[in-house]
Amino acid sequence: MVYRRYFEAAVSRLKDERRYRVFAHLERDVESFPLARWIRDDGSIENVTVWCSNDYLGMGQHPEVIDAMVQTASKAGAGAGGTRNISGTSHAIVELERELADLHGKEAALVFTSGWISNLAAISTIADLLPNCVILSDASNHNSMIEGVKRSRAERKIFRHNDLAHLEELLVEAGDRPKLVVFESLYSMNGNIAPVAEIAALAERYGAMTYVDEVHAVGMYGPRGAGICEREGVMSRIDVIEGTLAKGFGALGGYVAGDAAVIDAIRSYAPAFIFSTALPPPVAAAACAAVRLLKRRPDLRTAHQRATHVTKHALAAAGLPVLENGSHIVPVMVRDAELCKAASDLLLTRHNIYIQPINYPTVAKGSERLRITPTPRHTHEHIAYLIEALVDVWQTLGIPFVEPPAGLHVDEKGDERCTYPEIKLAAQ
């Protein structure tokens, strides 16, 4: 039997549905981030500006982070040597877990090779260790959380996204059974923020355990960068906090932090932890340096929020359809898979701007978008050029504009749509 045709047919279906994903060949540049080198198929190279990186604060290029990685690699080598059960735990991971526990005000933390794995392992293990547990999961939870819920043997129920009344209804139905509420603090595609204090209060009222994914918030919010729960003053009321080292902290890996008994149980029972090679010491050291740095640098978070605010304002003033939210995620809605891909391609080939299209299944069909993520290193000149490029792409492809919000000036010719004086100057 020739099996190849089945795989070719599967890929063809994706292409027919305009869901086939093409990766841009990019090489980031430490000295000029957010610029990167785009290596074309013919071998030619051009500089492009990256507007969709999850390295939100540029920690992957920070000298202290790089130095920690280089110094540790020179002393401990490139790899971990195996699982922690076989090869032991590197000193770099021990230090990293201490820093993470301290960051979240918890007794202990446990590091995994990715945030996806930490959710899969921790949610399924916690639920399986609670007898007759029911998991209450937000409808918009990330794929890694969904897979963690599915992997467990526990009963699961889905509550409508950020719907406190529906969550309470399910908590009441669950009665005296052990209950685990799993949700995100910041949802990465829409950029909206969960009512973390209200969810914590409901969990306390009905005796439920709470598990929050702070992947897109750690490093980014709170006085020391511990996330939305820190900012809202509810970290102590959340049982398990999960995060990543690959976004705000600019490295690689995931983790959970919580009560020492819970973390020890996950360490002892989760197959995804037990049988996975440990995070390499240089990576752990780099992540640890980033965590320490961001604990003491709220100014970096302030600069990032300022860049986000200016970008959102400029996009809205240009009549571009920005999905409103209270976070640093900037979704520009296209609502058509083919147009979304075309817009991304045109931005790259005509304007040397890289923004990856977001299509189904990452988002629902009909809600396709360009997901923009400003960083503190995106200048006013970068923002002005982005707006100019997007307006050109929207006009070229016939994507609808929207009316700018009241109070934002658009002149008769539509040439100057932004009311920020620094952006106007940059565009001149």
- Residue 225 has what DSSP assignment? S
- The alpha carbons of the chain give a radius of gyration, in whole angstroms, of 23
H or E element: which one contains 98?
Answer: helix 91-104
What CA–CA distances, in Å, run from 342 to 14, 71, 339, 351, 393?
Answer: 16, 44, 5, 13, 9
CA atoms within 13 Å, Cβ hemisphere of 413: 2
Among candidate residues 297, 145, 285, the one with its CA nearest the CA of residue 215: 145
Catalytic, 247? Answer yes
Assigned token pair, 320: 């571009």
H or E element: which one contains 27?
Answer: strand 26-28
Assigned token pair, 98: 């201490």
DSSP state string for 326-346: SSS-EEEE---HHHHHHHHHH
Strands (E), 206-363: 209-213, 240-244, 254-258, 330-333, 353-354, 357-358
- Whether 308 contacts 156, CB under 8 Å: no
Assigned token pair, 268: 């002892």
Q: Find all residues with CB under 8 Å of 285, minimum gap 6, and list them.
A: 68, 69, 71, 72, 92, 95, 96
Q: At what angle do helices 63-76 and 91-104 cross, to 10 degrees?
A: 150
Q: Which of 247, 295, 341, 424 is catalytic?
A: 247
DSSP state string for 111-174: EES-HHHHHHHHHHHHHHHSTT-EEEEETT--HHHHHHHHHSSSEEEEEPTT-HHHHHHHHHHH
CA 31 to chain CA mean position, Å: 24
Residue 261 exposed, middle or buried by CB count within 10 Å (0-12, 13-18, 19+): exposed
- 229: helix, coil or strand? helix
Q: Find all residues with CB under 8 Å of 1, minimum gap 6, and list them.
A: none
- Show which residues are catalytic: 247
